[in-house]
């Protein structure tokens, strides 16, 4: 599997660091870690990552799903959602975006590895 440039969008720094370690352990490069929807949009459109790992609840006015909607309006970009929110409202909203996978927190490196295989 080819190494991917990954953008991590997660508002809890400890979780972001854990995910970053998992991504690197799987042999991929982390382009950056951001904690708001607006930063996710700016970095994604500016740096064009191969994959976005997106939390749904973020700091600021724009949640993860809205950020992906805005990014995908401009450019097709694969996303894996990672969230503790599995309620129906969020699932319906997620369906308005093209996404590869949904991982429920807490995630393991094995979960992430399977999702990366879907992304390859």
pLDDT tens track for 23-74: 999 999 999 999 999 999 999 999 999 999 999 999 999 999 999 999 999 9
What CATH number is given to the structural domain containing 43?
3.40.50.2300
Structural domain contains residue 119 = no
Structural domain contains residue 60 = yes
Q: Can you give the pTM of this predicted structure? A: 0.95
Structural domain contains residue 16 = yes
Q: What is the pLDDT of residue 99?
A: 96
Domain, as residue range, for 95: 5-114
Structural domain contains residue 120 = no
pLDDT band at 10 (very low <50, low <70, confident <90, very high): very high
Structural domain contains residue 73 = yes
- H or E, element range at 83: strand 79-83
From the list 79, 5, 89, 76, the residue with the least C-alpha distance to 37 is: 79
Q: How many domains does the chain have?
A: 1
């Amino acid at each position: 599997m080819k190494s991917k440039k990954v953008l991590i969008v997660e508002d809890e720094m400890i979780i972001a660091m854990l995910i970053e370690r998992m991504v690197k352990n799987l042999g991929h490069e982390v382009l950056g870690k951001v904690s708001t929807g607006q930063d996710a949009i700016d970095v994604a459109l500016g740096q064009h990552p191969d994959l976005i790992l997106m939390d749904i609840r973020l700091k600021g006015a724009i949640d993860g799903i809205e950020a992906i909607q805005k990014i995908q309006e401009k450019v097709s970009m694969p996303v894996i959602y990672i969230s503790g929110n599995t309620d129906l409202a969020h699932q319906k909203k997620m369906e308005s975006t093209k996404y590869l996978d949904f991982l429920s927190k807490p995630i393991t490196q094995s979960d992430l590895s399977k999702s990366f295989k879907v992304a390859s």
